[in-house]
Amino acid sequence: MSKLPTVLITGASSGIGATYAERFARRGHNLVIVARDRERLEALATRLQGEYGIAVDVVQADLTNVNELATVEKRLKEDTQIGVLINNAGIGQSGTFTEQTVDSIDSLLSINITAVTKLAAAIAPRLVQAGEGAIVNIGSVVGFAPEFKMSVYGASKAYVLFLSQGLHLELNPRGVYVQAVLPAATRTEIWQRSGVDIDALPEVMEVGDLVDAAMVGYDRRELVTIPPLQAAECWNALDEARRLVMANIHQERPAERYKVAPKANT
């Protein structure tokens, strides 16, 4: 791309998405900001255009709505100026697994999994053809922490991590950068929407700190960026353990521990 690519950001009306918009605007990128709240989007667009002199296009869309999601997909497929996708839109889990409703689970999966996947799929072929561009998927440390007892939300974020790792293997050799950003508790509205009192949590990261750290990882072209992880070697050890497990799988036979002597006839 001869000039800075336009950045499309979902869930951009507040929190992490709005902060990403500000950070990329500060760098001189034009933006396409997507969310349900048009009033907030337009206020953000007006401010960023005034402060940084960039162009901001507002797209009001509810990504749980198939038709509105398709509108954003179409934009990603056809707008050749868009070279970066920030897949940020997501919702949290309210209640335990047995307390959740079918509708709440469906909404969570629609945004956290279906929308993330479809939007990445919409832009990836064009980026591959161009030989450059980036897809950033916002996950969560809950995605590898089942002990947090957020089963559906955690599973959706585990999917985001796996998807990002898989896309990296497929797309990186063809010039497309993929990043998974895994926050822990961050001061955003997702907590209030999930019915959780964020002030009751012992440690919470400010959203500006989270996005600034994620942008450092972005500039370094990290695959997995975990801003609250203090010792990077912990993640490296976890990934190495995963690789060791795979190296120890021999799919032609069961492991010895699963072999038992046949029962004697009585």
Q: What is the bridge-based pairing of β-strands 31-35 and 134-138?
A: unpaired
Which residues lie below 8 Å from residue 14, measured CB to CB, with a gap of 6+? 35, 37, 40, 188, 189
Residue 111 near residue 66, CB atoms below 8 Å: no
Please state the φ and ψ torsions of residue 70, each to the nearest 5 degrees: -60, -35
Spatial separation of the C-alpha atoms in residues 135 and 55, rounded to whole Å: 21
Residue 2 CB coordination number (10 Å): 4
Which residues lie below 8 Å from residue 145, measured CB to CB, with a gap of 6+? 154
Q: Which pair of structure tokens corresponds to residue 208?
A: 């500006």
* Residue 21 amino acid letter: A
In 3D space, the residue among 63, 155, 67 whose CA is nearest the CA of residue 107 turns out to be 63
Residue 225 near residue 134, CB atoms below 8 Å: no
Residue 217 host element (H or E) = helix 207-220
Q: What is the bridge-based pairing of β-strands 177-181 and 134-138?
A: parallel
Q: Helices 151-171 and 116-130: crossing angle, nearest 10°?
A: 10
Choice among 153, 159, 177, 218 that is catalytic: 153
Catalytic site residue 52?
A: no
Catalytic residues: 153
